[in-house]
Amino acid sequence: MSKGITSKNDDYSQWYNDIVIKADLAEHSSVKGCMVIKPYGYSIWEKMQAVLDQKFKDTGHSNAYFPLFIPKSYFSKEAAHVEGFATECAVVTHYRLKNDGNGNIIVDETAKLEEELIVRPTSETIIWNTYRGWIESYRDLPLLINQWANVVRWEMRTRLFLRTTEFLWQEGHTAHATAKEAIEETERMLDVYADFAENWMAVPVVKGKKTPTERFAGALDTYCIEALMQDGKALQAGTSHFLGQNFAKAFDVKFTSKEGKQEHVWATSWGVSTRLMGALIMSHSDDAGLVLPPKLAPIQVVIVPIYKGEEDLAKISGFVDELIPRLKGLGVSVKYDDRDSQRPGFKFAEYELKGVPVRLAIGGRDMENGTVELARRDTREKMTVPQEGLDIYIVQLLHQIQENIFNKAHKFREEHITEANSYEEFKQLLDTKTGFIAAHWDGTAETEKLIKEETKATIRCIPLDNKLEDGVCMVTGKPSIQRVLFARAY
């Protein structure tokens, strides 16, 4: 334990919070439920954004920007949608403040909006109202647009990154001529998310579909990627929705087909948010702090000189000044911390806390021996390595670390997918082993609700590659054709 981080095994929730705060990732703001994303946390989010943005562009999408505010009447047009979001909306009712004459600033009641504006919790309604003007013919389709934005969903209980009233996200909104194309898009973007989670975040995910109960409000089908945290709880890391023609019908968006017919457009939407930061932190970190996969680490290598006096430092710095450009040339981000205000031990703890994948310490004896001391953050191993060929060695090591972090998380996840064959066994597994539990379910919302009420476990998804297997529902004994994945979840 460094810098007073609670041990993961003592109090997982406090451990998480300690890392977020002490690694300078984010903090609660004075606005209830809203967070401040601090520079170090934001620099990780920026790296995530850059990778995702490129993937969206590579799959043919363009970015655009739609209004923050949604008129209440638009918001209400799709019945299931408004029902899903109505109870968590921030509502703008006035557009002016004034001085009350006694030096107090109050809301100017004469500046009341005729129609209230909702701060977007998601943008389907305002976007589909706009698409009506953009789509006339099949030539305008597919329309493939993404938006990076802030959204607001009023939350009573918040946790940094995982559940906040305001959060940052991207929301893709696409329009297609056929259901088939829209479903293909929904699946394509799920694959993009899964690829990002596994190959950049090093977080293994299960791709699946949500049950009707857990679908996005207004969707015909919700696909998701589900990750498993180190405490055995699941976390929904991204969703991709097939919206059918629901929004096209609610907003009267039609196109003229090749055959000259007027038809409603088919839609998808998909999003990931700053919640991914929570998944990243909880998947890999340990009692010394954050562990970052090299591909998303703002600093991949930190170099700390160990010196006595200026002469010593000058020698070390000479070597480092020559090493840094070579590393940068190989695409490695590197920081040289030669502050004299802090001792090496303090620096070591700080960069461990912040999850920097590789630390080099270089002292006078290293300079004599032509070596450096290298510490891996993921395994916390230390080793002495030659200065010669160090740049190439580090590039290879960063690959290994990326792989190792993924493999470790994958092994944990695989060990925590357990089959339960009775409701008793199911409940016992939930309380002891935790993780995903694969069990038979009769397919009804009633049984799903009962299980949730009794155990706090929800159906995370029906895996896309699920094998069919005859069985009986663990609760009702009714026939079932496949197991689904249950878990307690964030």
Which residues of the shown chain bind its own copies in the complex (CB under 8 A)?
27, 29-31, 34-39, 42-43, 46, 62-72, 74-76, 82-83, 86-99, 104-105, 107-108, 116-119, 126, 129-130, 133, 139, 145, 149-150, 152, 154, 166, 168, 341
Q: Smallest distance from the beta carbon of 68 to its own copies, in angstroms?
A: 5
Residue 214 is classified by DSSP as G
Cα distance between residue 397 and residue 383, in whole Å: 12
Which secondary-structure segment (H or E) carries 486? strand 483-487
Q: Smallest distance from the beta carbon of 395 to its own copies, in angstroms?
A: 24
Q: With contact defined as beta carbons under 8 Å apart, do 237 and 228 qualify?
A: no
Closer Cβ to its own copies, 87 or 432, answer by number: 87
Closer Cβ to its own copies, 141 or 390, answer by number: 141
Handedness of CA 68, 71, 73, 74 (dihedral sign): negative
Q: Smallest distance from the beta carbon of 40 to its own copies, in angstroms?
A: 8
Closer Cβ to its own copies, 173 or 408, answer by number: 173
Closer Cβ to its own copies, 114 or 465, answer by number: 114
Cα distance between residue 462 and residue 444, in whole Å: 14
Q: With contact defined as beta carbons under 8 Å apart, do 219 and 83 qualify?
A: no
Closer Cβ to its own copies, 351 or 423, answer by number: 351
Cis peptide before 142 (omega within 30 of 0): yes
Closer Cβ to its own copies, 132 or 376, answer by number: 132
Q: Smallest distance from the beta carbon of 166 to its own copies, in angstroms?
A: 5
Q: With contact defined as beta carbons under 8 Å apart, do 450 and 475 qualify?
A: yes
Residue type, 38: K
Residue type, 144: L
Closer Cβ to its own copies, 74 or 406, answer by number: 74
The count of other CB atoms within 10 Å of the CB of residue 280 is 28
Q: Smallest distance from the beta carbon of 336 to its own copies, in angstroms?
A: 16
Q: Smallest distance from the beta carbon of 350 to its own copies, in angstroms?
A: 14
Q: Smallest distance from the beta carbon of 432 to its own copies, in angstroms?
A: 39
Q: Smallest distance from the beta carbon of 141 to its own copies, in angstroms?
A: 14
Q: Which residues contact 132 (CB under 8 A, 6 or more apart)?
A: 251, 252, 253
Closer Cβ to its own copies, 346 or 454, answer by number: 346
Q: Which residues contact 128 (CB under 8 A, 6 or more apart)?
A: 173, 247, 248, 250, 251, 253, 267
Residues in the chain: 490
Beta strands in 399-454 (DSSP E): 417-419, 436-440
